[in-house]
Amino acid sequence: MRKILLITTGGTIACPDTDESRSPENGAKRLLERIDVFPENVEITSTAMYCRDSTDMSPTEWTDIARFIRDRYAQFNGFVITHGTDTLGYAAAALSCLIQNSEKPVVLTGSMLPMEAEKSDAPRNLADALAFAADEQSRGVVVAFDGKIIDGRCAVKIDTQSVSAFESVNEREMPIGKTRFFDKLDARIAVIRLVPGVEPPIVSDNTRAVLILGFGTGGLPGHGGWEKWLETLINRGVYIIMSTQVLRGGSDLRLYEVGSRLSDKYPIIDAGKMTAEYAAMRAMFALAYSGNFDEFRRVFLEQ
């Protein structure tokens, strides 16, 4: 008998069937009642950690979820987390940092329509998540959505209406090794999306790292004070990460002069194939587990 722990946190999947002002209300019992087919030889235990719109979920809640799973890791063969879709990609990225090399499946899922809505995608998504969690061959932090199983580091929400709302972006090899749990994320980061012609933003004195979502493969404009802005932040001790606002392919600062001139002159970390969601959560993780730039770079690039 395989034992699965179902953790509910709210989201659309837990909302009543209404067209306006949806707010999560339904718990695990109501969700499970809508599932027609369950994996064989599985015992499901459920708990409600939160009942929130995912807009109100944050690194604090995701760290609590990771601790909750850590404390029960030996008791269960797999874990399923129902979560709102708006920040589900960030949640999966955060848990991929906090639960590394998991030898057991940790599956996040949700839905674009409430569980009780006509033609809802919720029953299938939850059933798929439970089936993956029950499979003896399954491992790692993943997202189950619209028939797909997506590495938690690669899950990106691409649509606000379609039930096929998530895709795997810049797929990576699943890491292996001994399961390791962590319990800290440091949210003192800023994420800046470049817009042509817009001046550099003011960055709070509390900010420890800045993730820049640049154009194409990465770089900063050679005008408008951007390089001076960058130099000021670095002199303040702020760590700089360069990524891209383009969905696929990743960043590569060495490809064009607008990026290479910066990486030759300044200590800038290239996020490479990381999604924006994973790069942001990875920056929070690296801040929490480093004391200087070299340590930060090493931790950030580890997975």
Residue 289 is a catalytic residue = no
Kindly name the residue from 8, 9, 12, 87 that is annotated as catalytic. 12
Report which residue type is found at 137.
Q
Task: Compute CA distances 211 → 52, 280, 281, whole Å.
Answer: 27, 7, 10
> Which one-letter amino acid corresponds to residue 291?
G
For residue 149, give the 3-state DSSP assignment.
strand
Question: What's the burial of 119, exposed, middle or buried (CB within 10 Å: 0-12/13-18/19+)?
Answer: exposed
Active site residue 85: yes
Q: How many CB atoms lie under 10 A from the CB of residue 61?
A: 19
- Distance of alpha carbon 92 from its chain centroid, rounded? 4
CB count in 10 Å sphere of residue 101: 15
Residues 6+ apart with CB under 8 A from 281: 59, 90, 93, 94, 96, 97, 185
The catalytic residue among 3, 179, 186, 256 is 256
Answer yes or no: 275 catalytic. Answer: no
Is 9 in the active site? no
* Residue 175 CB partners (closer than 8 Å, separation 6+): 100, 101, 140, 303
Among residues 8, 9, 53, 86, the one annotated as catalytic is 86
Contact 94, 9 (CB under 8 A): no
Distance of CA 122 to the CA centre of its chain: 20
Based on the residue annotation, tell me whether 50 is a catalytic residue of this protein: no
Strands (E), 31-102: 42-52, 78-82, 99-100
Residues 8, 9, 85, 217: which is the catalytic one?
85
Cα–Cα dist 232/219, whole Å: 17
Q: Give the C-alpha separation, 21 to 258, whole Å.
A: 45
Catalytic member of 8, 9, 151, 157: 157
| Catalytically annotated residues | 12, 85-86, 157, 256
